[in-house]
Structure 1
Amino acid sequence: MDVTITNSVLVQPAHDTPSEAIWLSNVDLIFSKFYVRTTYIYGSIEEPDICVWQRLREALPKVLVYFYPLAGRLINDSSREFAIDCNSEGVLFVEAVTDSDIEDLRDFSSISQLSSLAPTMDYTQSITSLPLLLLQVTKFKCGGVALGVTISHMVADGMSSLHFVNTWCDMAHGLDMMVPPYVDRTLLQARNPPQPFFPHPLCLPFPKLLHKEGQEEGNFPISFKRFRLSKEQLNCLKEKAKDDSSKEAFTSFIALTAHIWKCVCISGNLLKQQETKLYIPMNGRERIRPVLPCGYFGNAIFHASPIDMSENIVSQPISYIATKIAEEVNKIDDHYIRSQIDYLELNPNLKIEVSRQGKLYPSMVINNWAHLPIYATNFGWGKPLFMGLTLNAPEGYCCIKPNSENDGSLIIEITLRSDRMDRFGKLLYEF
């Protein structure tokens, strides 16, 4: 898909904002040099191109008055790796057009097509010279609109990014700020002295893929696909995941994650002694004590990391896998969170290594977006037809999202090797 950029400008806050250096927590710094790209797609709207761009561009300086760290730049800090210099240098706002129609995107499963709708990063440049937020508004020939958001993960996690975008929407409608961002991150400081108590698998290398003697991995293409499970199918999975002895009920996310893990292990025909691990990002805002302030702007992500042998995941019932996942998820409380922050304080090099581990399989990252307001981004054109990540994810990356129809179904987006994907797609619906 050909996209033509018609204008590009740096946008500053509408008036003076605090000129300060914002301290970054250990939980921010593990995402060093990593930007997240997301794309929102809207159906045909009856509004001239210039009005579409103007509506968003005029609201942007207003919202940046509150989210002023996004208009700054990273600086090297003498005591830590980076801090945010709130210098109001600005965020990049790009206007673009394409001769393509939204129908050309089909089911939004082509990452190469979506990639042209969100700003890309030039990682050859010094990270301290790059904007922390880049935005692109693209008008389709059919009248549809795409909003691409590229944001530094050191500055914001998914919750914070959505907080910014949805507030931007409100201000484009002339509404006042509802939940101001809380930008002080010192609430997530390590203890003095640090007191890590738990092991933290997030900081350990992924298990290596074992091969049968004489077997090689082969050169198969990586495939990205999207699947849907209905509310009825999810209820069936939840019922199947109940422990026969305790009859413990699991959430849709736990039951579905257990099923996905099992299907991935079976589809890969892994050796029995193969270790496989899940990385499940968890929002720690309400798990820490005291809870973080409403509107906390930054990273508050902590990982549950269940691990087991492939033989067990393949042979045991879903109730066994769901119980193992739930146990790790339930560990993420105030004690665990404080321990992880302290562990990273004592192991500063891991902050960079954690975000640079490119190969996942036979392990997985499973992101839970099921309850995030990803379809609340309405600039006056209705809710988006699609919202999703725009990245070439490694094999083993998975994201669980709500369906745009709000019918109780869930969307599974997953990246696997093409031969494994074919079998996974069949196994997913066998339960």
Structure 2
Amino acid sequence: MLAITFKGSYTTVKPWDPTWNGTMALSELDQLGCLTYVPSIYLYRSPQNSTAATIAETLEDSLSKVLVPFYPLAGRLQWIGNGRLQLQCNAMGARFIEAECESSLNDIGDDLSLSRLHGNLYPSVDFSLPIHELPLFLVQLTTFRCGGFSIGTALSHAVADGTAALHFMSEWARVTRGEALKTPPFLNRSVFRAGEPPLGLSPPPTLDEYPEYGNPVLLIGQSDALEEKKKKTTTAMLKITKAQLEKLRKMANESCEKPMARGFTRYETICGHVWRIACKARGHKREQQAVIAVCIDSRNRMTPELPREYFGTATFDVIAQSLAGDLMSKPLGFAASKVRETIEKVTDKYIKSLIEFLKNLEDLTEYIDNDTVLGKEDGPFYGNPSVTAVSWLTLPTHGFDFGWGKEQYMGPGPSEDDGNFFLIQSPEGEGSVVVAMCLQEAYMDEFKRLFYQDMP
């Protein structure tokens, strides 16, 4: 781990002006990830004519200002029973931490392959505290020897998903540069009927329609998943060039058994490729059931569409299943078509029915995505033999200029969840894609070898 020295106590940053005070209901989609914090890291070279003290002061002031329109981030969560929470908009503020690192920025590297080194560069969340005391947004400013600094963030998934989080970061950077807010957040959670009772559909949606919430696949060799979850994981950043991606899509399209109205997207193609390779690298038996969980953004799938600036959690997982033997023996087009079928089933009707299904659950505790905090033994099905895909391909993941130039690197914080992978656009903007893959250490070398070997 990097040697990090923290500068005294943290600072609580409250909104610059008075904000609305009251209780905000959370939607069922907010509830599913309510105990998860999404970490991100931004690395910057040494700015001219700025010291660590002036950078910290500038960031704190601008954060205070941007928390006015984004006031839910300054609030706190509160349990209301049955595994559900609500948001108290009380302006208690975000947490700002200053730290120093004895290493230079060059020691960090420009990717997350050294994820265990990066772990100290974003703020940790003390889950031993009562939930109503936990800040929903935490920032850590780390300055390096010989200059350079990083901004590490941790943002509650109950308040914002990836799209909303990057919207906030973009506006915070804009305000820090001295510019006016460009796009205020859309804070109305009533689009998901947050806080309202079930509609009473007849017949009511059942678990058979939403296997994502039934833990359909046990982790390899374990009835309770605990032993598998204890195994060490590592993260690798695997770049797919534009030329490689075009060839991979061509291979998927030409090997698809079913006629298609349009070719596979890069997301469908890469998901299918990673799914197949994970089965091979893990040495699955042919009869093993394998799963890929695909994270879906519902903003453009609802009628009418949600505003892009909807500030909340509008994402959820859907799963595709297959026998590992079919994935490994059949061509890429088979896996990619399974991913497409899963994505295409998510319609406006599907989303609203899912909300109804979740509202009908008496207790959401077993479906909340943080089994460590809740002391659960099973939790989600993620891990071997499953993989989980999150795409940032259409999100503004680069160009976060806080007034000291654009970042040298930006990416998700290191994951320790076996099988999780992010798809990120290359910062060079030349059409390549980076796959940030987290896998058990025992399988990573074989995964990296096959990842490129199986490309055309």
Q: TM-score range by the shorter chain?
A: over 0.9
For residue 444 of structure 2, the aligned residue among 404, 421, 428 is 421
| Aligned: 1:34 with 2:66 | no
Tell me what 2:376 maps to.
none
| Aligned: 1:16 with 2:18 | yes
One-letter code of the match for 2:296?
M
Does structure 2 retain, via aligned residues, the 8 Å contact 1:43–1:143? yes
Tell me what 2:199 maps to.
192
CA distance in 2, matches of 1:377, 1:206: 40
Does structure 2 retain, via aligned residues, the 8 Å contact 1:32–1:352? no
What SS does structure 1 have at the residue aligned with 2:185?
coil
Note closer, same or farther for the CA distance 1:55–1:217 as it changes in structure 2 (3 Å cut): closer
Q: Deviations over 1:312-353 (max 9, x none)?
A: 111111111111111111111101111111111112434543
What SS does structure 2 have at the residue aligned with 1:429?
helix
CA distance in 2, matches of 1:217, 1:114: 24
The Cα of 1:405 is off from its aligned counterpart by 1.1
Structure-to-structure mapping, 1:173-252, within 5 angstroms = 173-189=177-193, 191-194=198-201, 195-196=204-205, 199-210=209-220, 221-242=232-253, 243=256, 246=259, 248-252=262-266
Note closer, same or farther for the CA distance 1:393–1:217 as it changes in structure 2 (3 Å cut): closer
Tell me what 1:146 maps to.
150
CA distance in 1, matches of 2:51, 2:257: 60
| Aligned: 1:410 with 2:422 | no
Aligned-pair identity (%): 30
Tell me what 1:116 maps to.
120
CA distance in 2, matches of 1:146, 1:281: 28
For residue 373 of structure 1, the aligned residue among 396, 407, 429 is 396
Instruction: Tell me whether 159-168 or 37-46 shows the greater mean CA deviation.
Output: 37-46
Q: Number of residue pairs matched?
A: 428
TM-score by length of 2: 0.89
The Cα of 1:209 is off from its aligned counterpart by 4.3
Note closer, same or farther for the CA distance 1:203–1:111 as it changes in structure 2 (3 Å cut): same
Note closer, same or farther for the CA distance 1:361–1:210 as it changes in structure 2 (3 Å cut): closer
Tell me what 2:54 maps to.
51
The Cα of 1:80 is off from its aligned counterpart by 7.6
Instruction: Tell me whether 86-95 or 381-390 shows the greater mean CA deviation.
Output: 381-390
Note closer, same or farther for the CA distance 1:217–1:161 as it changes in structure 2 (3 Å cut): closer
The Cα of 1:419 is off from its aligned counterpart by 3.1
Q: Deviations over 1:71-109 (max 9, x none)?
A: 111123379821111111111111222221111112432
CA distance in 2, matches of 1:3, 1:206: 41
Q: Deviations over 1:91-138 (max 9, x none)?
A: 111122222111111243222321211111111111111111111111
TM-score by length of 1: 0.94
Give structure 1 regions of 4+ aligned residues with deviation exceeding 4 angstroms. 216-220
CA distance in 1, matches of 2:403, 2:230: 46
Q: Deviations over 1:153-180 (max 9, x none)?
A: 1111111111111100111112111111
Tell me what 1:341 maps to.
355
Note closer, same or farther for the CA distance 1:267–1:35 as it changes in structure 2 (3 Å cut): same
Note closer, same or farther for the CA distance 1:409–1:173 as it changes in structure 2 (3 Å cut): same
The Cα of 1:261 is off from its aligned counterpart by 0.6
Q: Deviations over 1:190-211 (max 9, x none)?
A: 7512443771122121512456
CA distance in 1, matches of 2:47, 2:211: 47
What SS does structure 1 have at the residue aligned with 2:411?
strand
Tell me what 1:84 maps to.
87
The Cα of 1:259 is off from its aligned counterpart by 0.7
What SS does structure 2 have at the residue aligned with 1:372?
coil
| Aligned: 1:307 with 2:321 | yes
Does structure 1 retain, via aligned residues, the 8 Å contact 2:5–2:101? yes
**What's the Cα RMSD here?**
2.2
The Cα of 1:245 is off from its aligned counterpart by 5.9
Stretches of structure 1 lacking an aligned partner (at least 5 in a row): none
CA distance in 2, matches of 1:427, 1:345: 43
CA distance in 1, matches of 2:228, 2:64: 51
For residue 131 of structure 1, the aligned residue among 120, 135, 148 is 135
Note closer, same or farther for the CA distance 1:360–1:350 as it changes in structure 2 (3 Å cut): farther
What SS does structure 1 have at the residue aligned with 2:251?
helix
Does structure 1 retain, via aligned residues, the 8 Å contact 2:177–2:403? yes
CA distance in 1, matches of 2:6, 2:77: 26
Note closer, same or farther for the CA distance 1:125–1:391 as it changes in structure 2 (3 Å cut): farther
Does structure 1 retain, via aligned residues, the 8 Å contact 2:288–2:324? yes
CA distance in 1, matches of 2:295, 2:232: 27
Does structure 1 retain, via aligned residues, the 8 Å contact 2:41–2:122? yes
CA distance in 1, matches of 2:97, 2:228: 42
Instruction: Tell me whether 267-276 or 229-238 shows the greater mean CA deviation.
Output: 267-276
Does structure 2 retain, via aligned residues, the 8 Å contact 1:30–1:352? no
The Cα of 1:384 is off from its aligned counterpart by 1.8
CA distance in 2, matches of 1:176, 1:99: 36
For residue 311 of structure 2, the aligned residue among 297, 307, 315 is 297
Stretches of structure 2 lacking an aligned partner (at least 5 in a row): 222-226, 372-378
Q: Deviations over 1:272-322 (max 9, x none)?
A: 111111111111111111111342110000323111110111111111111
Does structure 2 retain, via aligned residues, the 8 Å contact 1:206–1:277? no
Note closer, same or farther for the CA distance 1:220–1:301 as it changes in structure 2 (3 Å cut): closer
Q: Deviations over 1:180-230 (max 9, x none)?
A: 11112121027512443771122121512456xxxx989964222111010
One-letter code of the match for 1:395?
D
Does structure 2 retain, via aligned residues, the 8 Å contact 1:304–1:331? no
Does structure 2 retain, via aligned residues, the 8 Å contact 1:258–1:322? yes
Does structure 2 retain, via aligned residues, the 8 Å contact 1:156–1:298? yes
